[in-house]
A and B are shown apart, each in its own frame.
Chain A
Amino acid sequence: MMRSLMLVLLLAMPTAFAAENRFEDPQKQERYTQLINELRCLVCQNQTIADSNADLANDLKDKVAGMIHDGKSNEEIIIFLTDRYGDFVLYRPPVQPNTWLLWAGPALLLGAGLLVFGFTLRRRAANADREEITDNGENT
């Protein structure tokens, strides 16, 4: 009984988190859902405005919906928000000089890791060769 109840609740969860339907046009609705899932709520900073029920998040959702309704492009909406709140509202940071390290970081770390890995392998191989020689020397 308990288990089936949990299952029902779990299955219901995705629908609970889906954005409410604001547009008749499914394309606009999709843009809306996508946008509010990429914008950070400044009040509760680890939530998107889609997830947040903060007053400001609701206001910003209204704003985004209104702008889509007015025929504004995604880009215009993003610019509207970053002009006011800064790049911080974007969950997907733009590629620009102060974020180069952020974007290149994983690749740089991977590269550094591979270099260390390569060196270690080489040294091991060299050591193994040397040991073999000394071993042979001892055996004979």
Chain B
Amino acid sequence: MKFRFFIPVIVVALLAVVFWRGLFLDPTKVPSPLVGKPVPEFSLPTLHDPEARFTDARFREGPALFNVFGTWCPGCHTEHALLVEMAGTLDVPIYGLNWKDDRKAAIAWLQDDGNPYTDIAFDKDGDVAIDWGVYGAPETFVVDGDGIIRYKHIGILTRDVLQEDILPLLETLKAETQGGTP
């Protein structure tokens, strides 16, 4: 019967493990149910040319990044320099979703700070953002050559995220597309 003394100790130890792990979880990062699913269908005007369309067909031409941003979003300014750098070094296109923004302000910002985007969809009403399950800019998606969303990063892009998650994934995707199309 001596071991009964240990029951509370064990319970406390288990709880401590659970809570300790909880300290390092970020509840603001909600896993997206869209990872593993095809990109939602959409058709939007582009930021620079209201007459041109940006549609989900773009994501079937090969692996691509899709970055949700707005001039009103402080985190987007923070990650911008890294995006510009990535645009110069990566060999996949970075597409942008300009979310609920002012067209003029967005164009002016990209002119001043550099434009890392191959092309930018302009989502004035935020409807397409909802279809992509976006809830807080900046968000970055990695889409494979078949238009399947493979990864989503919520929040500011960092070098760590790039090195540990995005670059290895892009390598895999490139291997897949080469293997898939003989």
Contacts and interface: CB of A to CB of B under 8 A. Distances in A.
Interface stretch (A29-37, A81-89, A130-138): A81-89
Nearest to B131: A84
Q: A interface, how many residues as a size bin?
A: 10 to 19
Contacts of B126: 55-56, 59
A43 B30 CA distance: 11
A78 interface: no
Nearest to A58: B126
A45 B28 contact: yes
A85 B31 CA distance: 8
Given A42-B135, A42-B136, A83 B30 contact: no
Contacts, number: 38
Given A59-B126, A84-B34, A43 B100 contact: no
A136 B20 CA distance: 54
Contacts of B32: 85-86
Question: What does DSSP make chain B's interface, helix, strand, loop or mixed?
Answer: loop
Nearest to B125: A59
B137 to A, nearest CB: 10
A82 B133 CA distance: 9
Interface string B64-100: 0000000000000000000000000000000000001
A63 interface: yes
Contact of B130 (A43, A63, A86): A63
A60 B100 CA distance: 14
Nearest to B30: A88
Interface in B2-55: 27-28, 30-34
Question: What does DSSP make chain A's interface, helix, strand, loop or mixed?
Answer: helix
Contacts of B133: 84-86
Given A59-B126, A59-B130, A60-B130, A43 B33 contact: no
A88 to B, nearest CB: 5
Interface of A: 42-43, 45, 55-56, 59-60, 63, 82-86, 88
- 9 A-B pairs closest in CB distance: A42-B135, A84-B133, A86-B33, A88-B30, A59-B126, A85-B133, A56-B135, A43-B136, A43-B135
26 contacts: A42-B30, A42-B135, A43-B135, A43-B136, A45-B28, A55-B100, A55-B126, A56-B126, A56-B136, A59-B125, A60-B130, A63-B127, A82-B33, A83-B33, A83-B34, A84-B33, A84-B34, A84-B130, A84-B133, A85-B30, A85-B32, A85-B33, A86-B30, A86-B31, A86-B133, A88-B30
